Amino acid sequence: MAAIEIGREVRLKIRPQGLPGPQHFEITETPVPTPGAGEVLVRNRAFVVSASLRQMASEGAEDIPGVPFPALRPGDGLFGETIGEVMTAPAGGSLLPGDIVQHMFGWRDYAIVPVARCVRLDAPLPEPLGYLGYLGHGATAYAALTRGVRIANGETVFISSAAGAIGSMAGQIARLLGAGRVIGSTSSRAKADRLITELGYDAVVVRDGDEPFVDRLNEAAPDGVDIFLDNVGGEQLQAAIGVAREGARFVIVGTLSGQLAVAGTGRTAPVVLDSTQILLRKITIRGFSADDHPQARQEWFARLAAWSRTGDIRLPHVMIDGLERATCALSDTINGRYLGMVVVRL
C-alpha cells in the first residue's frame, strides 16, 4: 500500500470565552507520521460530536482534575469517540490491516493510535445498527441504570435532557429494564413529541414558558418519581427533589446546566438543594461514571444486539457528512438542535 502523506485534522485555534463556535477551530492539513512500535495507522470512518469538548477547550482546563480528556490548548487536535479501519499494523500483533477498531482519536482523517488504546470490533451489530451501534453514550445510560441504580418493576423514572445522546437511549433502556412510567425533559415541543411517538416516553416536560419547571414535572409525575437519571443539574435537579417519592434514587451522569452555560468555563454547575427534603424523603444521590464499570460495556453491546433483533430499541442519531462540517455540528449540538447521537461521517 502506498504511503499516506497528508491528512486533515480539526484543531483548537483559540480558547473560547463562553460557548465554543466554528471560529474557535481550524482544519489543518498535516503529514501523517509512520506508526511506531506498538502503534497502528487508522483511517477514521465516523466519530461522535460531544458537547464535553467545551470543558476540554476552556481556559484553565488543565488545572482541573476530572475533565473527560486531556485539556486542549491552542494548536491541539480534538478528541472524540471514533470508528475506523486499520491501514497498517505491527507484524505479528493483535491487529491486522482491515480490522475495524474503536478509539478516541477522532476529528481527523487518519490517526496514529497505540494498539493498547484500540478496541477491535469483531463483527457489526445487527442491522440497522451495524458498527454505528458501538458509538455513543448508550453504554453510559445502560451502566447508570444497572450499576448506578437498580430499577424495580413498575417504578417511575425521570430522565433529564431526554433528547440527548444519553437520554434518548436511557428512556428506552429504562422501559426494557422494567420501568412502569418514563418521563423526560427537553428544550422544545418538537423534540418532546418525537420522544413520545418514536422512543416511548410517557410524558416529556419542555423547558420553556413561565410556569416553574417543578410544577410541570409534578403534572407529568403526579405520583412522584422513584429514579432520576440526571444529565443536567440546576433547576431540574431541584425539581426532582420536590417530586421524589420516599426512598428515591438519583444518579448524576452529567451537568449540562453548567457545561452549556453561556458564561464561564462549563466546569461548574452550582445549585441550591433542599436538604430537608432529601432527609425526609430518604433520597439517595450518587455521582456516577461508566468508566468505573468496564464490564457493563460489553454487557450493553450484548443486550443492544438482542434488543435490536427483536425491534425493541432504536439508535437515534443524526449523520453529518464531512470533516469540514464538524465544527458547525458541534455548535448545533451545544445549542440543542439535534435529537440523539451526533455523528460525523468521513
pLDDT tens sequence across 285-322 = 999 999 999 999 999 999 999 999 999 999 999 999 99
> Cβ atoms within 10 A of the Cβ of 239, count?
24
Provide the total of helices (H) and of strands (E) in the chain, helices listed first: 10, 15
Question: What is the total residue count of the chain?
Answer: 346
What stretch(es) of the chain map to CATH 3.40.50.720? 138-291
Q: pLDDT, tens digit, for every residue of 38-52?
A: 999 999 999 999 998
Instruction: Give per-residue pLDDT as tens, 82-101.
Output: 999 999 999 988 999 999 99
Instruction: Quick: pLDDT tens for 104-125.
Output: 999 999 999 999 999 999 999 9
Is CATH 3.40.50.720 the right assignment for the domain spanning 138-291?
Answer: yes
Q: What is the rounded radius of gyration, in angstroms, for the C-alpha atoms of the chain?
A: 21
Return all residues near 28 (Cβ < 8 A) that are at least 6 apart: 8, 9, 10, 11
pLDDT, tens digit, 9 for 90 and up, residues 140-172: 999 999 999 999 999 999 999 999 999 999 999
CATH 3.90.180.10 boundaries in the chain = 6-128+315-345
Q: Among positive and negative, which fits the CA dihedral 193, 196, 198, 201?
A: positive
- Tell me the CATH number of domain 6-128+315-345, given options 3.40.50.720, 3.30.70.920, 3.10.290.10, 3.90.180.10: 3.90.180.10
Residues 6+ apart with CB under 8 A from 11: 25, 26, 27, 28, 74, 75, 76, 77, 78
pLDDT digit string (tens) for 202-256?
999 998 767 899 999 999 999 999 999 999 999 999 999 999 999 999 999 999 9
Beta-carbon contacts of residue 85 (< 8 Å; ≥ 6 apart):
42, 43, 45, 98, 99, 100, 101
- What distance separates the 2 farthest-apart alpha carbons in the chain? 69
pLDDT score at 12:
97
Instruction: Please tell me the predicted confidence (pLDDT) of residue 207.
Output: 87
The answer, yes or no, to whether residue 272 has pLDDT greater than 60, is yes
CA-to-CA distance for 178 and 151, rounded, in angstroms? Answer: 7
The pLDDT value recorded for residue 17 is 87
Structure confidence at residue 68 (pLDDT): 54
344, 329 in Cβ contact below 8 A? yes
CB within 8 Å of 306: residues ≥ 6 apart: none
Classify the C-alpha dihedral 4-75-48-285 as positive or negative: positive
pTM, to two decimals: 0.93
Asked if residue 267 lies in contact with residue 67, where contact means CB atoms within 8 angstroms, the answer is yes
Q: Is the dihedral of CA 311, 314, 320, 326 positive or negative?
A: negative
DSSP label at 146?
I
